[in-house]
Structure formats: structure tokens, C-alpha cells
């Protein structure tokens, strides 16, 4: 299991290095997740121990939101000043997500018939 934890963190590290080197506008952990996904596609299956390690990390994922929550509270004034653009972005992105999901579901349902 330690090997799979090392694999997860190594993919994240490689992702961070790639993003830092190429100055990509994507977070390093996202690139690392894509690398891990490619590895699993090549392998053809998800090892049971890797699933257990990932599940263990997921149990404590809520702890990762504590710093973000503290940052929101520290900059509450800035967020208040930009409340209208933030609210507009949330509404537009939510509506866009619903629309895209509906279109994809509609096309997939037509394929199934």
C-alpha cells in the first residue's frame, strides 16, 4: 500500500514539475491525476490496494478545505466587493453545466434507442 501512496504523490509531483516547467494554466495535481489515469488505462485495471489507498485519502479530504475556508474569511471584504460578478459567474456556469449535461444526455439517450 505504501507503493501506491508513493505512486499517487509521485504523479502529483510530476504534474507540478510539468506545470512549473511549461507554465501551464492548469493546477499541477490535475496534470498528475491525468498521468495516473493514463497509467491505469495502460495497466487495464485499478489494483485493489490502490483503491484502498485512494479511499483512505478521500475520507480525510474535508481537511483540505480548512485552509480555503480560512482564506475566504480573511478576504471576506474583497469577496463582498466582488459579490455581483461572483454571483453572476456562479449562475452562468451552473446554467451552462446544466445545459451541456442535458445535451449530452439527450444525445446518449438517442444512441441507446
Mean pLDDT across the stretch 4-15?
95
What's the pTM? Answer: 0.60
Q: Write down the number of H helices and E strands in the chain.
A: 6, 0
pLDDT at 113: 67
**Alpha-carbon gap, residue 11 to 57, rounded angstroms:** 15
Query: Is there a contact between 27 and 19 (Cβ–Cβ < 8 Å)?
Result: yes
Domain edges within the chain: 1-59, 67-113
At 24, the pLDDT band (50, 70, 90 cuts) reads very high
pLDDT tens per residue across span 58-109: 898 888 788 888 888 898 899 899 999 999 999 999 999 999 999 999 999 9
Amino acid at each position: 500500500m505504501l507503493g501506491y501512496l508513493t505512486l499517487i504523490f509521485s504523479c502529483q509531483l510530476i504534474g507540478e514539475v510539468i506545470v512549473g516547467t511549461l507554465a501551464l494554466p492548469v493546477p499541477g495535481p490535475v496534470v498528475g491525476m491525468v498521468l495516473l489515469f493514463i497509467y491505469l488505462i495502460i495497466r487495464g485495471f485499478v489494483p485493489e490496494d490502490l483503491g484502498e489507498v485512494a479511499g483512505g485519502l478521500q475520507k480525510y479530504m474535508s481537511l483540505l478545505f480548512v485552509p480555503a475556508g480560512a482564506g475566504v474569511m480573511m478576504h471576506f471584504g474583497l469577496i463582498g466587493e466582488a459579490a455581483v460578478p461572483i454571483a453572476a459567474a456562479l449562475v452562468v456556469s451552473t446554467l451552462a453545466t446544466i445545459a451541456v449535461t442535458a445535451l449530452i444526455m439527450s444525445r446518449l439517450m438517442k444512441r441507446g434507442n
